[in-house]
Structure 1
Amino acid sequence: MDPDREPELGDLIEISRDGYQHWAIYVGNGYVIHLVKDSDTGAKGTVKKEKLKDVVGKDKYQINNHLDKIYVPHPTEDILQKAISYVEEKFPYNMASSNCEHFVTLLRYGKPHSQQVQNAKNLLLAAVVFKILKLATLKKERE
């Protein structure tokens, strides 16, 4: 995740927003392709091709091909061809199972993956375990 290098074709771009990360895939000439949740229909998203600088706005971004150590990326030409073929297509959109990060990792690796969702699940699980342990401790103290 070198912050000084320019994106290369097929790179995953992680954009830091308030409270979450938005994801896109770099397709060249300053453009990215990304899945954007439709505001009028909560369960659909549209694939857009837009200038990286417009998608980022005042936020910060980084190149983050975070799963390259786990999965072999598809050939760049295949990634680009598939990404471009999806522009303006509608896709189901669900924060937990089909969000922008799932979309770009599916394009790059052939596997939909969202570390944000995994982190949230882990946090929720830890909170549940903590609550159970706390209740068990309180019950034992009362006995």
Structure 2
Amino acid sequence: MPLMSGPPPQLGDLIEFFRPLYQHWGIYVGNGYVVHLTDQEGWSSLSSALGGSAVVRKDLLEDVARGCNYRVNNKYDQKMSPYPSEKVVQAALQQLGQIMPYSVTSANCEHFVTELRYGNCFSEQVANIALYTAVGGGILAAALATLAIITRNRRQNQ
């Protein structure tokens, strides 16, 4: 059974679902339902990423969680003002059934919900991956440069 941490959701809240290797996102629209960007079957799986499109669905929060933990996570509220909850819910419900382009890096489920709540689409997951990749690449480049210097110095000393 999924475990919810933190306070119960309120209308317009961002819901973060913890999947293996990534997080899925939805907007709480009341009566136990969330609106989310997902594949046709509602699994928020790689089939959306591979197919290049996704659909806006309204599903029971517990069904979307499907055994994974979840929480209310309005993490950007300190940085920007959210729209009124009624406006967020109305905008989410108006998009039900729409097929939308899907991109892991520029049009994913987190982009979808942040645009509804704040009017700007962004994904911290994508930004973090880019940062980790850049840092990892920098560390690798520094290690290779150090190895090259050590190798050159050894050759000169021989």
TM-score calculated relative to the size of structure 2 = 0.85
- What displacement does 1:118 show? 1.1
Match of 1:15 among 7, 14, 17: 17
Return the structure number with greater helix share.
2
What are the within-5 Å matches in structure 2 for residues 116-127 of structure 1?
Answer: 116-127=125-136
Q: Which of the two has higher C-alpha Rg?
A: 2
- What displacement does 1:4 show? 3.9
CA distance in 1, matches of 2:147, 2:91: 55
CA distance in 2, matches of 1:53, 1:136: 51
Q: Secondary structure at the match of 2:57?
A: strand
What is the aligned length? 142
- What displacement does 1:119 show? 1.1
Matched with 1:96 is 105
CA contact (8 A) 1:37 1:93 kept: no
Q: After the TM superposition, which parts of structure 1 deviate over 4 Å for at least 4 consecutive aligned residues?
A: none
Matched with 2:156 is none
CA distance in 1, matches of 2:22, 2:70: 12
CA distance in 2, matches of 1:4, 1:66: 13
Q: Which residue identity does 1:35 align to in structure 2?
A: L
CA distance in 2, matches of 1:48, 1:80: 13
What RMSD over aligned residues (CA atoms) do the two structures have, in Å?
A: 1.5
Q: Secondary structure at the match of 1:48?
A: strand
TM-score calculated relative to the size of structure 1 = 0.94
CA distance in 2, matches of 1:17, 1:76: 26
- What displacement does 1:115 show? 1.2
Structure 1: stretches of 5+ with no match in the other structure: none
Deviations 1:71-109 (A, max 9, x none): 100111211111000000011100011100110011000
CA distance in 2, matches of 1:88, 1:95: 20
| Identical amino acids, percent of aligned pairs | 42
